[in-house]
Chain A
C-alpha cells in the first residue's frame, strides 16, 4: 500500500509540474524517434543531452533519461521490423521474425505486436519494480556473483547457437566468430594487447556499434542489392493492419514468460535488455511446437523479444537506484546525471530523495503506457517509409549508418570496419551463418571473459567451486545439455530437407 501511495504522490508531482510534463513528452517522442531512425539510437540522443542535464533539476534529468530508455528500446523495434536494422542490440532478435513479416506483407501486424508487447512488458516491469525494488535487488546482488553471471552468459550462448543459422554447427561457429572479435584489444585482467597486429586502432578493440551496423544494416542492403541485380528482389508489401486482440491473446504465455525472463535479466548488472531479448526469443523457440516457423515471420518471435527487452528496462533501474550499479550504457549515463548534481545513486537515494525515486518510477510507468498511444500513431506513419523505392532508400540507409558509425568515436576507420563487417555479413549469410549469433558473441564475449576471470579468482582457480553454487551449476548443466542435445540432433535426428527453407 505504501508503494501505491508513493506512486500516486510521484504521479501528482510529475503531472503538476509544467516543465516536468514538457520534459516527459520530449523524452517519449525523442526516444521513439531516435530509436526508430536507422543509424542513430537512443544512446545517440542520451549522449547529446547528457551535458544539458546539468541545467535541469536531478528529478528532471533522471526522469528524462529513464523515459528515453523505455521508449528508445521500443523505437528500435520499428527499424528492426521494417528494414532489418535493429535500433539497438536489444532489438536484434526482433528483426529475426519482424523483418520476414514485413517481407510477407505483415509489417503492420509486426509493428502492432511490438507496440502492444513493449507496453505490456514495460508496464509489468514497472509495477514489479515499484513493489519489490529493495527485496529483488538484495536477492539478485547476493545470489548472482561472477560465477552465476558467467554461467548465465554460457547458457545464453548455448541456446543461441541453435537459432538463426542453417545448422547447429554454423550457429556455433557464428557465435565463436563473435567471441573471437570480442577478444581483439586489451585483455580484461592484465591489460595485455591481443591480436592487434601492430595496428593502433585494434589495440582499443573493435567497437560493437560499427560492427552491428555492418552486420545488420549494410549486409541487408547488399543482400537486397544482389536480389535486385539478379531480378529476384521483391519489394516489401505495405500494410497497416494491426494484430487483433485474439491474435495477441494466443501468445499470452509467451508474453508472461518473456516478461519474467526480461525482468530477471534486466535486474542483473551488466546483462540488461540485450540478453533478455535474446533469451526471450530463444525460449519462445524452445517451447514452441512450430520451431521451423521461427525466422520466417512468426509473430511470437516479435512478441517474445519486445516483451523481454522492455521488461528489462524497469528491472535495470533496480540495481542502479538501489546499489548504484548500471546495467548498460544508458543506465551508466544516468550515473553521470547523478554525479553532475553531486549525487551518487545507491541506497541513500531512497532515504534522501524519495521524491526523485517515485517521480522517476511514475514517469517510467506512464512512458511505457504512452508507447501504446504514441507508438500506434507513430507506427501508422512510419510504416509508409516502405513506399520509398529501394534504390532511393539504400543510399539513405548507408549514409545514416556511416554517420552512426563515425559519430561513436570520430574515426573514419570505424566506417571502414562497418563496411568490412557488411561484406563479411553478406558472405556469411550466403553460406548459412547467423549474423545475429556473431553479434551476440561479440557483445557477450567481453562480459563472459571478465566474469569468468572474476569467478576463477573468487573460486581460487578450482573449477569444483562451481559445485557449491547451485544457480551457476544449474545454468552450466542446462547449457551443456542444450549443446549435447543439439549435437545429438545434428547427427542422429535429421528432419527431411523439404521441411526447411534454403
Chain B
C-alpha cells in the first residue's frame, strides 16, 4: 500500500474539480429537445461521470500500487520531456503561469482601457501598441531566468498580437525570437535564416497559393502588410 504524493492528489483534484465545474455549467443548456428525450446534456454528463470515475480509479490505483501505478502493460510510451528538477518546482510553475497570462492580458487589457477612458477610435491603436510594449517588456523581465516558460509564451504572444499587427510584420521578429530562445547567438546566421524562412513562406503561401494572411489594422504594421500583399501576391 503506497501513500499518495502531493502531485498525485493535485492531479486527481484537478480532474474532479474540472468535472464538477463542467457538470454545474451543463445546467445552462439543459433544455428539452422535442425529438430527443436525452437532451443536449446526457452525452457530456456521461463523459464527465467517466472522467470522475477514472480520476478516482487513478487515485485508488496510485494509493494501492504507489509509483508502479504510473506504469501499465503498454506503459510510458512517450518519454517526452526532459523533466529537469528545475522545471518541476512550484516556483517554476507559478512563474510560467504568470508568463502565460501575459499574452491573454494583451487580448483583454487594451479593450478595458479604451472602454474605461472612452478613447476615440483614432487613439485605440496607440493604446494597443503601448500595452503590447509594456507586456512584452514584462515578458522579458519575468522570463529572464525561465527559459522554458519563455519558449512556451513567445508563440502565444505572436498569436495574440497577430490580429492587430499582422503576420507580415511580426513573423521576422518571431523567427529571430525563437532562434534566440533555441540558443542561436550569431547575428549574421540569424539574419540569413530569417530571410530564408520568411522568403520561403511568402513565395509559397502568398505568391503561389494566394493565402490571405492577416495584415493587422494598426499603422505602420498594416501599411507594411498591405505593401507585402500588393507586391508579392
Residues of A whose CB lies within 8 Å of any CB of B are 48, 96, 162-173, 176-177, 179-180, 183, 187, 189-190, 192-195, 218, 222-223, 225-230, 232, 285, 291-292, 294-296, 390-392, 394-396, 398-400, 402-403, 406-407, 410, 412, 415-416, 418-420, 422-423, 426, 429-432, 434, 449, 452-453, 456-457, 461, 486-487, 489-491, 493-497, 499-502
Contact = CB atoms under 8 A, between A and B. Distances in A.
Contacts of A223: 80-81
A173 B15 contact: yes
Contacts of B193: 392, 395
Contacts of B182: 225, 228, 390-391, 394
Given A169-B58, A402-B159, A426-B152, A180 B44 contact: yes
A254 to B, nearest CB: 16
A168 B209 CA distance: 44
The 5 closest A-B pairs by CB, nearest first: A295-B77, A502-B76, A190-B33, A391-B182, A169-B58
A501 B76 contact: yes
Contacts of B54: 169, 172-173, 176
B85 to A, nearest CB: 10
B71 A495 contact: yes
Contact of B58 (A167, A180, A190, A285): A167
A392 B74 contact: no
A190 B71 contact: no
Contact of B163 (A392, A412, A434): A412
B179 interface: yes
A415 B161 CA distance: 11
A490 to B, nearest CB: 5
B81 A226 contact: yes
Contact of B31 (A192, A229, A394): A192
Contact of A495 (B75, B82, B147, B205): B75
Given A222-B152, A419-B159, A422-B155, A403 B65 contact: no
B43 interface: yes
B61 A491 contact: yes
A430 B80 contact: yes
Contacts, number: 251
Contacts of A491: 60-61, 64-65
Residue of B68, B159, B193 ringed by the most chain A CB atoms within 10 A: B159
A226 B96 CA distance: 13
B160 interface: yes
Interface string B27-57: 0010101111111100110011011001101
Given A189-B40, A229-B147, A292-B74, A194 B29 contact: yes
A296 B73 contact: no
Nearest to B216: A412
Contacts of B76: 166, 295, 432, 500-502
Contacts of B147: 229
18 contacts: A167-B61, A167-B70, A190-B34, A190-B35, A222-B148, A285-B74, A292-B74, A391-B182, A391-B183, A392-B179, A395-B175, A403-B213, A406-B214, A419-B158, A426-B152, A429-B78, A486-B72, A490-B57
B74 A183 contact: no
B178 interface: yes
B13 to A, nearest CB: 13
B174 interface: yes
B222 interface: no
B29 A399 contact: no
